[in-house]
Amino acid sequence: MIEFKQVTKTFHSGNQTVTALDNVNLHVARGEIYGVIGFSGAGKSTLIRSANLLERPTSGEVLINGVNLATLKSRELQKAKRNIGMIFQHFNLLQSKTVFDNVATPLKLTRTPKADIRKRVTELLSFVGLSDKADNYPEQLSGGQKQRIGIARALATNPEVLLCDEATSALDPDTTSSILHLLKKINIEYNITILMITHEMSVIREICDKVAVMEKGRIIEEGSVLSIFSSPQHPTTEKFVRSIIPTGLPARVKEALQQKEPNRRIYEVTVTGDSSHSDLLRSLIQTFGIEVDILHATMNDIQGTSFGRIYFDLRAEPEILAEASNYLKSHPLQPKEVTGDARVAA
């Protein structure tokens, strides 16, 4: 649906060259909500703006439905662009026009008959829940309402793709949540593919199917939202995940991790979904007659799937502990012994 192939974009200002995109490859499938996250200056806006040719790549290509927009002549290009809606952090509404006229603008540009414009705008205003604001001006609306109008305008030409550049960054948490719900509704009801960029991991958690993490113009990690949240690989990704999921351990657990006792071992196990951690703990107790104590557990929920980490300790005679340890080594959940583990305790 949207494909970035070895896309590089460099900017020159004075005698400085900035590589905003550095050999980016990304594939967004039809119907997906794909999030791109990164710190300021990572290249996110440049990436999304190159999807509709607001920026032309220096090299590489961006394909929408298999077509490279950069190869199209102006008429075909205009038509192709109508298939891509975009919404912005600061809404970009025309202040001198009413809400109705703002939403109607893309339709007027395509010389849509007046009656059809009225029908479509009325339908869209009702979809975004602002039918009563048709005759108001943007300055009479709240931020959340302005973004709803921005969304209605972006949908006017019935696009298959919606690009969102920090669409909720200027909004408070409750309004952010309502706009994200609206985007999800658009994705489901109109089957619109959404590419969104953000610097907030909570936005990714709330509605994205997949996520890519950008740094210095490159994609450093990508995957399903669940896999990125449950096992981030790159330190920057970990930082983003930690921004909404605390990973620190209580002092009591840190202390326990540093003590070595011959009759005690401590393990860490990562669990996702309805995985078999309770079976694991039960079989340790039943098979080895071992005392199992849960020291600490965190559970999180990502779009209906839970994941988390459990720290448990085993207490028994050293021979029994050795047998249990062998059993755990071959267990599919791959619990890791962390007794005396300074890294975990840090």
- Provide the binding-site residues for Mg ion, judged by CB under 5 A: 45
Told to check if 199 binds ligand ATP by CB under 6 A, we report yes
Minimum CB separation of residue 12 from Mg ion in Å reads 19
Query: Measured from the CB atom, is 145 or 236 closer to ligand ATP?
Result: 236
Distance CA 325, CA 305 (A): 29
Binder of residue 218, out of Mg ion, ligand ATP, none (CB less than 5 to 8 A by kind)? none
Coil, strand or helix at 158: coil
Near ligand ATP in 108-167, by CB under 6 A: none
List 35, 44, 210, 292, residue binding ligand ATP (CB under 6 A): 44
User: Per CB under 6 A, which region of 43-51, 78-86, 98-106, 141-149 contacts ligand ATP?
Assistant: 43-51
How near is the Cβ of 294 to ligand ATP at its closest, in Å? 40
Output the smallest distance, CB 66 to Mg ion, in A: 27
Q: What is the DSSP letter of 95?
A: T
Token couple for 276? 């078999």
User: Strand 161-165 to strand 193-198: parallel, antiparallel, or no bridges (unpaired)?
Assistant: parallel
Binding to ligand ATP by residue 218, rule CB under 6 A?
no
**If you write DSSP's letter for every residue of 179-236 in order, what string do you get?**
HHHHHHHHHHHS--EEEEEES-HHHHHHH-SEEEEEETTEEEEEEEHHHHHHS--SHH
Distances (CA, A) of 1 to 5, 54, 84, 222: 12, 18, 11, 17
From the list Mg ion, ligand ATP, none, pick the one residue 322 interacts with, judged by a Cβ distance below 5 to 8 Å according to partner type.
Answer: none
* Residue of 7, 24, 43, 150 that binds ligand ATP (CB under 6 A): 43
Residue 41 interacting with ligand ATP (CB under 6 A): yes
CB–CB of 17/11 below 8 Å?
yes
DSSP-assigned states of every residue in 248-287: ---HHHHHHHH--BTTEEEEEEEEETT-THHHHHHHHHHH
Q: Shortest gap between Cβ of 318 and ligand ATP (angstroms)?
A: 54
Please state, in angstroms and as integers, the Cα–Cα distance from residue 300 to each residue in 259, 264, 305, following that order. Answer: 28, 28, 8
Beta bridge partners of 19: 10
Return the number of the residue (157 or 198) whose C-beta is nearest ligand ATP.
198
| Region of 44-52, 60-68, 221-229, 232-240 interacting with ligand ATP (CB under 6 A) | 44-52
Among 7, 45, 221, 312, the residue binding ligand ATP under the rule CB under 6 A is: 45
Residue 15, interface with ligand ATP (CB under 6 A)?
A: no
219 binds ligand ATP (CB under 6 A): no
Neighbours of 175 (CB within 10 A): 17
Judged by CB under 6 A, the stretch of 10-18, 71-79, 188-196, 226-234 that binds ligand ATP is 10-18
Q: Which does 43 bind (CB under 5 to 8 A by kind): Mg ion, ligand ATP, none?
A: ligand ATP
Q: How many residues bind ligand ATP (CB under 6 A)?
A: 13
Q: How far is the CB of 208 from ligand ATP (least distance, A)?
A: 17
Please report, as a single letter, which amino acid is at residue 268: E
Among residues 204 and 292, whose Cβ is nearest to ligand ATP? 204
Distance, in Å, from the CA atom of 78 to the CA atom of 80, rounded to the nearest integer, reads 5
Task: Please identify which residue in the block is written with the tokens 């929920």.
Answer: 301
12-20, 177-185, 231-239, 256-264 -> range binding ligand ATP (CB under 6 A): 12-20
- 69 Cα distance to chain centroid: 26
Residue 311 token pair: 């720290």
Beta-bridge partners for 13 = 16
Is 11 a binding residue for ligand ATP by CB under 6 A? The answer is yes
Among 4, 34, 46, 167, binds ligand ATP (CB under 6 A): 46
Give contact residues for ligand ATP (rule: CB under 6 A).
Answer: 11, 13, 18, 20, 38, 40-46, 199
